[in-house]
């Protein structure tokens, strides 16, 4: 197979192509994760620790301050009202990470 030239694409375009490929070809997901992690396991099974910040009940969302996730994604993970439970701003939480369709980190399965 000839090498593909992606130099003319924007990062967001490539991410969209990648996400579509993963959704349409689920059998590739495990192989892609293995290639990206060097066989070190699924990074989305890992738990992270951070502080709930800027959660606004009226807007029904907020974020978790987590340096490790911010370093990887360039932003704090999103926190929906469906995940916050009884936690409040300033609460330290452990969470699992997922990624939205547009490549943004999201906090799931919060625990103390």
Asked whether residue 54 falls in the same domain as residue 103, the answer is yes
Distance between CA atoms of 82 and 7, rounded to whole angstroms? 39
Unique residue bearing structure tokens 């579509």: 20
Let me know how long the chain is: 112
Q: What is the pTM assigned to this prediction? A: 0.63
More confident residue, 32 or 10: 10
How many domains does the chain contain in total?
2
Residue 31 reports pLDDT greater than 90? no
Asked whether residue 59 falls in the same domain as residue 95, the answer is yes
Range of the domain at 26: 10-40
In a domain? residue 102: yes
Most confident of 10-24, 25-39, 92-106: 92-106
Position 46 confidence tier, pLDDT thresholds 50, 70, 90: confident
Q: How does pLDDT run across 52-100, given as a tens digit for each residue? A: 998 999 999 999 999 999 998 899 999 999 999 999 999 999 999 988 8
Spell out a b/e string for 21-55, using b for 16 or more CB atoms within 10 Å of the CB, else e.
Answer: eeeeeeeeeeeebeeeeeeeeeeeeeebebebeeb
């Amino acid at each position: 197979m000839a090498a593909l030239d992606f130099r003319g694409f924007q990062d967001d375009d490539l991410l969209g192509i990648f996400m579509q490929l993963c959704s349409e070809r689920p059998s590739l997901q495990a192989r892609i994760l293995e290639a990206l992690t060097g066989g070190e396991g699924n990074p989305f099974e890992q738990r992270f620790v951070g502080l709930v910040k800027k959660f606004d009940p009226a807007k029904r969302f907020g974020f978790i301050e987590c340096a490790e996730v911010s370093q990887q994604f360039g932003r704090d993970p999103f926190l929906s009202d469906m995940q916050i439970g009884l936690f409040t701003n300033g609460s330290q939480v452990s969470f699992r990470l997922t990624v939205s369709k547009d490549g943004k980190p999201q906090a799931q399965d919060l625990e103390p």
